[in-house]
Amino acid sequence: MRLLPQLTVDEAARLVQDGQTLLVGGFGMTGNPVHLTHALAELGTRNLTYVANNVGEPGIGGGRLLRNGQIRRAVGSFFTSNPEAVAAYQAGTLEVQLIPQGTLAEAIRAGGAGIGGFYTPTAAGTVIAADADVRTLGGQEMIFVPAIRGDVAFIRAWRADRAGNLQYRLTEQNFNRAMATAADLVIVEAEEIVEVGQIPPDQVHTPGLYVDYLVQASLTEADLGSSASVKGSGRRADETRMHMARRALQELRAGDVVNLGIGIPTLVADLIAPEHGINLHTENGMLGVGPAPEDGGAMNYPVNAGKVPVTALPGASYFDSADSFGMIRGGHVDVAVIGGLQVDAAGNLANWAVPGRPLLGVGGAMDLASGARRLIVTMTHTDPDGTPKIVPECTLPLTARGAVDMVITDKAVFEFVDGQLTLTGLMPGATVDEVRAGTDATFVERLDANPGS
């Protein structure tokens, strides 16, 4: 059996050359090969194409490479979490290619599997599709996405044996598993390197044939950024938002697999009790999400899509991002509850970008909107200036077309009944006149259709 060379982080970082494409695992700072990126930041390596879900956090992980001006182009799904990435893009010093999170994971998986690309309904009819080849397959419009491969991949594993077999911890599989297959040179930093045979075969997540070099590096809380402690992840939960969360909970049924987006939808998780029998899914690789712990952080707990430490309920499971979005696109998620900026009379959703504002992230919303069996949107009824958010036709960049089933605002509940936008409920304290005044789209009033609202 081949035994792999073990390098220092400095030796490993020197294997990356100017102008190369670098795949970097992790979701936020969880499962992120931070020691390798920091070692690379000490070198003069430049003009990198950096492929990852995001560019770390300010001064941490890929954020340190960005701060040094070593990244020329970033390919990923959510760069808004690092304001320095947004500033670099606005200044013209960073080229960015936004890809929906699930599409990114699948493109990397395809690259590792020797597949040239694939067709997906995610992002069809949106500006993200750009000039992609569009076809109708099985009656559904889909766009072609080419596979992604890298020259070098930086991977973070919990354990590695000397033959390169890898074991990941909790939600740290994320992009690591696919990226480990999709680069010409794969360098793994591991918390622990053990002898061959100490990782049982049924616990090997990445076989050693993909890996070229090993580096031993231990994590500290400082390496985990905003996920280091649950205390730094407090959410705003005023009563108006909680009303919306409670109303969304009424739509969930025992046995449902449910994905909750960031923002208002995340508040629903705080209301779910074991007796509800709801199975929460998070797109970074977990099914069976429990409530946030009282204390601690990502050193001890998995994290959710908001990068917040959470607990695992009995029967929970972990998987990587490619498998997670396969569940979503394959129609195995019963309900997605996500935020919105606009919903229109045709059930189109816009929730990721506002022209003129420095938003640089699409995340997993496009995959969820097109893949979940039922889509519930929670949002305020109007913008702060009173501009209606339920409109005849979306004017903001689309997330998905014709995907919305229900809209819950601070004023009302709307459903699409036989394709028609229909008012079926009022929120506490709201009146029909207020809803009429704050809604631009034409709608049918059927308030007796949902007496539980």
Q: Counting Cβ atoms within 10 Å, is residue 440 exposed (0-12), middle (13-18) or buried (19+)? A: middle
**Which residue is catalytic, options 251, 283, 415, 445?**
283
Distance (Å, whole) CA 75 – CA 99: 7
Cβ–Cβ < 8 Å for 161, 216: no
- Pull the structure tokens for residue 293: 């712990």
The CA-based diameter of the chain, rounded to the nearest angstrom, is 75
Helix (H) or strand (E) holding 435, with range, is helix 432-437
Can you tell me whether residue 192 is helix, strand or coil?
strand
Query: Which ranges of 160-216 does DSSP label H, i.e. alpha helix?
Result: 176-179
Determine what percent of the chain falls in helix, strand and coil, rounding each to the nearest 5: 25, 30, 45
Closest CA to 164 of 172, 174, 175, 155: 155
Tell me how far apart the alpha carbons of residues 194 and 196 are, in angstroms, rounded to a whole number.
7
95 is catalytic: no
What residues contact residue 347 under an 8 Å CB cut-off, 6+ apart? 401, 402, 403, 404, 405, 416, 419, 421
CA dihedral 149, 76, 399, 412 (to 10 degrees): 140
Beta strands in 34-131 (DSSP E): 48-51, 71-76, 95-98, 117-120
Structure tokens at 235: 């959410």
Quote the DSSP letter at residue 4.
P
Kindly write down the DSSP assignment for every residue of 316-380, as one continuous string.
Answer: EEE--HHHHHHHHHTT---EEEEE-SEEETTS-EE-S--TTS---B-TTHHHHHHHSSEEEEE--
**Token digits for 386?**
């009173």
Taking the C-alpha atoms of residue 244 and residue 337, their distance in angstroms, rounded to an integer, is 11
Please provide the DSSP assignment of 201-229 as one string. Answer: GGG-SB-GGG--EEEE----GGGGGGGS-
Chain centroid to CA 58: 19
What are the catalytic residues? 283
